[in-house]
Amino acid sequence: MALDERKQKILYAIIQNYQETGEPVGSRTISKYLDVKLSPATIRNEMSDLEEMGYIVQPHTSAGRIPTDKGYRLYVDSMLSEKKLPAEPAADPAFLIKRVDRVEELLMQMAKILAANTNYATMITGPRYRRTKLKFIQLSPMGEGKLLAVVVSEGNIVKNNILDIGEDLSQDSVLALNLLLNSNLSGLTIDDISLEIISKMKEEDGEHAEVINKVLDAVAESIRNDDKIPIYTSGAPNIFKYPELTGGDKASELISTLEEKEPLGNIVRSSGEESEGKHDIQVYIGDEVPVDSMKDCSVVTATYELGDGVQGKIGIIGPKRMDYQKVVDTLQSTMSQLDIIFQDDNKE
Amino acid sequence: MALDERKQKILYAIIQNYQETGEPVGSRTISKYLDVKLSPATIRNEMSDLEEMGYIVQPHTSAGRIPTDKGYRLYVDSMLSEKKLPAEPAADPAFLIKRVDRVEELLMQMAKILAANTNYATMITGPRYRRTKLKFIQLSPMGEGKLLAVVVSEGNIVKNNILDIGEDLSQDSVLALNLLLNSNLSGLTIDDISLEIISKMKEEDGEHAEVINKVLDAVAESIRNDDKIPIYTSGAPNIFKYPELTGGDKASELISTLEEKEPLGNIVRSSGEESEGKHDIQVYIGDEVPVDSMKDCSVVTATYELGDGVQGKIGIIGPKRMDYQKVVDTLQSTMSQLDIIFQDDNKE
DNA sequence: GTTAGCACTCATCTTGTTGGAGTGCTAATA
DNA sequence: TATTAGCACTCCAACAAGATGAGTGCTAAC
């Protein structure tokens, strides 16, 4: 059976209606809703066909119809293929983001704003740095046998490590070590730091081999932490606005997942590798969501980029009947904003 | 009317029973529960008295009784006054905390463990540093007109600030500035840094007055941020285990409060100033909780200390029928653990 | 002072009834 | 041939009317 234009129109009408009300929608409703004049009976026939094709179902006999995952998929795909111009980063009044120093704070704020604007839950990963180069290391004595190692890597990511070295080094030794480390290591990635370089350094300053080891550990930890990317969430309580997500223990499960955050890593990973389009918007519907407790949800993700291949994901989590159009638009405009902010940041 | 020992025993029996079941408890139940043999009828008379005195109420005629805030208050007070020996920091197997560098991560982990152990929600504030002294400042050139300022204050709190100074300073200038700043500022609190010292520094190095200003701003921001103490929460989904907290919109409100975190500041503030006892355990019951959306909850707080007056709060948030005994014990033992960890940290 | 007995209350559960929304089918219509 | 009106049918949701039972307060006996 073919999906002619009329059937498609009816399907979309059902989806949009269900989006608004959350109730199964019947033939009379659609009849009034459509621009073309068709009687409920005709609609019924078409709906019967749509059901047979698997785009809609009845929760029970004599109820209206609701869209299936397949129905949503069709709708979303056709929506995404109408590639609208990328929604110029309008002067959204809600978007007055104060300049914050730390990228992470900016991202968390972003998640909050998105949650407030969309009425769905949001997640956002910290930036993921791969093949990051070391910019420089700065050691400072702290007294009490402690040494502060500040590791700065490409993209101006700063990490602090307090090292316990058991002895207090002289000011001069620290200076010498600083010099030694920086002249040997700066510009290298984690993979570049070979055993050869390490032994060379230890040769040059045999006295502090132990300290060098500890510093290297700190460096490694600072650069190679791309497997535990932090995930932040916001707007979790928004799910209470959608009864289909809160029945039974669902609310509890969902909130737990959002609090634990680890399971959300699946979403990041599943879409992780193939980022091609500008912001690489991806939509997961129902069973497609790679998180067990979210099979009643849909998730829309987008990728942001800080430049130099450093990137992360933003995700919007809502019921399957979420307003995909609005979510995609909002996400796209947000991404543009982010791009501008990060550009400015790099330019300065 | 006097509250004789028998009445008290009955009250406590009601509280404990209600704790376990969450259902109003009747006279027959108590009759079986008590060690002394009393008939339900006798219990009923006593319960009638207890109700008149305001320690218990009936949700409706012909239901059992449940404790009032006043009832809980009596119970908790008597419990706390039986000052048990402070529960030696038992080798709790769940307490294998990995050494983490950053205090905040440790605290968040602690919140998580506490939530898992108690089955209530937990909150924890980051440490609050007052009259903190500056330990040292470390400036490093980052290129592109940027300067990295690492500010280390008492308690080994490290803050990074990236300053935009618009020009690249020479290595020597940076060294000179470092020396100038540290010799003039280290050991001082925010209040100690007078205009006199500032102008003296600018005099000594007139060339970089602008940079000095920016560094001082960064220092000020790093030290004087005691008004926006971060608050972390964990175990929010635990509230779903207590039906009395999840009826109607209550779950949504509570979860929102726990996510927003700001309202929780009230709890910190209300108990903030008078920390006297060892860990200063405080119990807020129902209406006593200074957060609007938590009038159906009880909150138990304790104070931890990192030494030198640097301290923060841990709070357990549960239903009014929470197991106060267990919570207080757990909290006390946790605090002892924390003390040990921080002591070790300082000793090393 | 304590207890047994009893009438009474009231939330909860069960069962039956009804109303209405929505469907599928058939026959009439354009 | 596609559309529509009409009608019987289904089934959920809401309501009402008992039935159940846990628990109480009161009174009278111990």
A236/B259 Cβ within 8 A? yes
- Sequence-ordered list of residues with C-beta below 8 angstroms from that of B72, at least 6 positions apart, any chain: B15, B285, B286, B298, B320, B324
In strand C, which positions have an atom below 7 A from any protein CB?
2-5, 8-11, 20-26
A240/B249 Cβ within 8 A? yes
Determine contact: B138 vs chain A, CB below 8 A. yes
CATH architecture of A134-223: 2-Layer Sandwich (3.30)
Rounded CA separation B111/B304 (Å): 13
Chain A residue with the nearest C-alpha to that of B256: A237
Q: How far is CA A237 from CA A96, A225, A290, B256, B266, in A?
A: 23, 30, 21, 6, 21
Tell which B residues from 91 to 110 touch A, by Cβ distance under 8 Å: 101
**Predicted local confidence at residue B309, as pLDDT:** 66
Looking at residue A140, what DSSP letter applies?
E
CATH architecture of A5-79: Orthogonal Bundle (1.10)
**Predicted local confidence at residue B310, as pLDDT:** 73
Chain A residue with the nearest C-alpha to that of B150: A150
Chain B residue with the nearest C-alpha to that of A218: B101
| Tokens (6 digits) for B83 | 């000052």
The Å distance, CA of A260 to C1' of D12, is: 38
B176, burial (CB in 10 Å: exposed 0-12, middle 13-18, buried 19+): middle
- Sequence-ordered list of residues with C-beta below 8 angstroms from that of A238, at least 6 positions apart, any chain: A115, A119, A120, A121, A318
| Tokens (6 digits) for B180 | 């100038």
Write out the E strands in chain B: 56-57, 66-67, 121-125, 134-143, 146-153, 157-164, 231-234, 282-285, 297-307, 310-319
Q: Going residue by residue through chain B, which has 348 residues, state the pLDDT in tens, using 9 for 90 and above.
A: 788 999 999 999 999 999 999 999 999 999 999 988 899 999 999 999 999 999 999 999 888 999 999 999 999 999 998 866 555 555 444 443 444 456 788 889 899 999 999 999 999 998 876 667 888 899 998 877 888 888 888 767 778 888 888 888 888 889 889 999 999 988 888 778 888 888 888 888 878 888 888 888 888 877 765 567 889 999 999 999 999 999 878 999 999 999 999 999 999 887 655 556 677 899 999 999 999 999 999 999 999 887 666 788 999 999 999 999 999 999 999 988 887 777 655 444
Q: Domain B85-127+229-347: which CATH class?
A: alpha beta
From chain A, the residues in CB contact with B259 under 8 A are: 234-237
Rounded CA separation B213/B217 (Å): 6
**Predicted local confidence at residue A348, as pLDDT:** 41
End-to-end CA separation in angstroms for chain A = 60
> What letter represents residue B288's amino acid?
E
Determine contact: A79 vs chain B, CB below 8 A. no
- Smallest Cβ–Cβ distance between A162 and the set B101, B160, B162 belongs to B101
- Whether the Cβ atoms of residue A242 and residue A120 lie closer than 8 Å to each other: no
End-to-end CA separation in angstroms for chain B = 59
**Predicted local confidence at residue B272, as pLDDT:** 59
- Whether the Cβ atoms of residue A237 and residue A246 lie closer than 8 Å to each other: no
Nearest to B1 by CA among B49, B39, B41: B49
Helix H or strand E encompassing A53: helix A40-53
**Predicted local confidence at residue A207, as pLDDT:** 81
- Whether the Cβ atoms of residue B163 and residue B112 lie closer than 8 Å to each other: no
Rounded CA separation A198/A166 (Å): 21
Domain boundaries, chain B: 5-79, 85-127+229-347, 134-223
Beta bridge mates, B149:
B139, B161
Q: How far is CA B288 from CA A159, A311, B226, in A?
A: 42, 47, 25
Helix H or strand E encompassing A146: strand A146-153
Rounded CA separation B29/B13 (Å): 9
Would you give the distance in Å from CA A34 to the centre of its chain?
37
Rounded CA separation B166/B161 (Å): 15
B135/A142 Cβ within 8 A? yes
- Whether the Cβ atoms of residue A182 and residue A136 lie closer than 8 Å to each other: yes
- Report the DSSP pairing between strands B231-234 and B121-125: antiparallel
Q: Going residue by residue through chain A, which has 348 residues, state the pLDDT in tens, using 9 for 90 and above.
A: 788 999 999 999 999 999 999 999 999 999 999 988 899 999 999 999 999 999 999 999 889 999 999 999 999 999 998 866 555 555 444 443 434 456 788 889 899 999 999 999 999 998 876 667 788 899 998 877 888 888 888 767 778 888 888 888 888 888 889 999 999 888 888 778 888 888 888 888 878 888 888 888 888 877 765 557 889 999 999 999 999 999 878 999 999 999 999 999 999 887 655 556 677 899 999 999 999 999 999 999 999 887 666 788 999 999 999 999 999 999 999 988 887 777 655 444
**Predicted local confidence at residue A94, as pLDDT:** 40
Rounded CA separation A16/A324 (Å): 10
- Report the DSSP pairing between strands B297-307 and B310-319: antiparallel
- Sequence-ordered list of residues with C-beta below 8 angstroms from that of A210, at least 6 positions apart, any chain: A165
> What letter represents residue B263's amino acid?
P
Chain B residue with the nearest C-alpha to that of A152: B142
Nearest to A106 by CA among A124, A89, A93, A132: A124
- Whether the Cβ atoms of residue A126 and residue A107 lie closer than 8 Å to each other: yes
- Fold entry, domain A93-128+229-347: Beta-Lactamase (3.30.450)
B101/A145 Cβ within 8 A? no
Rounded CA separation B250/A156 (Å): 44
Report the half-sphere exposure of B331 (CA within 13 A, side-chain side).
29
- Whether the Cβ atoms of residue A7 and residue A60 lie closer than 8 Å to each other: no
From chain A, the residues in CB contact with B160 under 8 A are: 150, 158, 160
Determine contact: B142 vs chain A, CB below 8 A. yes
Q: How far is CA B102 from CA A134, B99, B156, in A?
A: 22, 9, 10
Q: Tokens 């990490």 belong to which residue? A: A159
Rounded CA separation A46/B347 (Å): 78
Q: At residue B315, what are phi and psi to the nearest 5 degrees?
A: -135, 145
Q: Which nucleotide is nearest to B44 (CA to C1')?
A: D24
- Report the DSSP pairing between strands B157-164 and B146-153: antiparallel
Looking at residue A264, what DSSP letter applies?
G
**Predicted local confidence at residue B23, as pLDDT:** 94
Residue by residue, DSSP assigns A149-214 as EEEEETTTEEEEEEEE-SSPPPHHHHHHHHHHHHHHHTT--TTT--HHHHHHHHHHTGGGHHHHHH
- Report the DSSP pairing between strands A231-234 and A121-125: antiparallel
**Predicted local confidence at residue A225, as pLDDT:** 58
Q: At residue A109, what are phi and psi to the nearest 5 degrees?
A: -65, -40
Q: At residue B173, what are phi and psi to the nearest 5 degrees?
A: -60, -40
> What letter represents residue B124's amino acid?
I
Determine contact: A172 vs chain B, CB below 8 A. no
Q: Which 3-state string (H, E, C) describes A82-133?
A: CCCCCCCCCCCHHHCCCCCCCHHHHHHHHHHHHHHHHCCEEEEECCECCCCC
- Whether the Cβ atoms of residue B298 and residue B72 lie closer than 8 Å to each other: yes
